Amino acid sequence: MTIQLPNKLGVHALVWVGGWSHAECREAIQNTVDAGYDLIEIPALDPSLIDTEHTLATLKEFGIKAACSLGLSFDADINNEDSAIVAKGEAKLMAALDVVAAIEGDYLGGVLFSALGKYSHPATEKSRANSVASLKRLAIAAQAKGITIGLEPVNRYESNLINTIDQAVAMIKDIGEPNVKVHIDIYHMNIEEQDLASPIINNAEHIGYVHIGASHRGGLGSGNVDFDELFGALAKINYKGVITFESFSSAIVHPDLSLALAIWRNLWTENKPMALSARKYMVEHIVRSNNLA
């Protein structure tokens, strides 16, 4: 008997490839399908490097959809008091939005609200206000394209602005647009939240996308994350959205993202069995948490 899961399962492209050349695009998409996933998440740190026509054709060939994610850089950061730096950051977000639309996706998420990296100072009222204003314009532009915007709370070493789900919800309320959601990531929750269940349950209506990964960003099921608590909370709020597996190793290097995420060592070398195992692990937990067996 085939069990109908309530969630589409995704995998981050960096599990497969370090860039997005035509060959890497095809490899990543084919591997995603071969491993049984429903969606691939493509990093768009530099939207200009993504050949959208080729990507869309390859996605259609293999019958799969894509989402995009990114984090801003310090020289193009909407969480800044300098209007020129803010403008560069907003332009990058708008370019990434165009990529999502061109590949017929419906989701753009990640650290859209700030640079992805360790700040030397707290966010200011002005820098936060600039971020809110830019994200409001992004959300309005995204609505016209049928795209949801996801704000991903990350740990204190990767942003000074949004580290918890509550902070993301507060910003979403200030943005005031219906297509902005919280993009939760269990890796960061495991660092910053008091527990893994209550922030999800208390903010159920705002949860729009889920990143799942081990506490050390290696193979799923290793590390110290309480995945029963996580999947139990998602089942309790009747979450029907995408759950995307992330895992990073120095075996596969993206020149910008690997540095930003401090991927210094090999947490795995064989990506295909690791991705297959991760999907099986997710399915088992979803089935058990939702009493689908």
Q: Answer yes or no: is pLDDT of 217 > 90.
A: no
- The proportion of the chain whose per-residue pLDDT surpasses 90, expressed as a percent, equals 83
291 found inside a domain: no
Q: Pick the more confident residue, 250 or 14.
A: 14
Residue 261: per-residue pLDDT:
64
Q: Which of 143, 224, 210, 161 lies closest to 182 in space, CA to CA?
A: 210
289 found inside a domain: no
41 found inside a domain: yes
What mean pLDDT do residues 234-241 have? 97
Give residue 263's pLDDT band: very low, low, confident or very high (50, 70, 90). low
1 found inside a domain: no
Q: Answer yes or no: is pLDDT of 253 > 70.
A: no
What Cα–Cα distance (Å) separates residue 39 from each residue in 60, 83, 137?
A: 12, 36, 27
4 found inside a domain: no
13 found inside a domain: yes
Tokens encoding 280: 């099986």
- The proportion of the chain whose per-residue pLDDT surpasses 70, expressed as a percent, equals 91
Residue 144: per-residue pLDDT:
96
Q: Answer yes or no: is pLDDT of 206 > 70.
A: yes
152 found inside a domain: yes
Give residue 119's pLDDT band: very low, low, confident or very high (50, 70, 90). very high
- Residues with a catalytic annotation lie at 152, 246
What mean pLDDT do residues 148-174 have? 97
Looking at the structure of the chain, the number of domains it has is 1
At 148-160, the pLDDT tens digits run: 999 999 999 999 9
Residue 216: per-residue pLDDT:
75
293 found inside a domain: no
Give Cβ neighbours of residue 101 (< 8 Å, ≥ 6 apart): 145, 147
User: What CATH number corresponds to the domain at position 41?
Assistant: 3.20.20.150
pTM: 0.93
Q: Answer yes or no: is pLDDT of 47 > 70.
A: yes
Q: Which domain holds residue 103?
A: 9-266+275-284
Residue 50: per-residue pLDDT:
97
Amino acid code (one letter) for 169: V
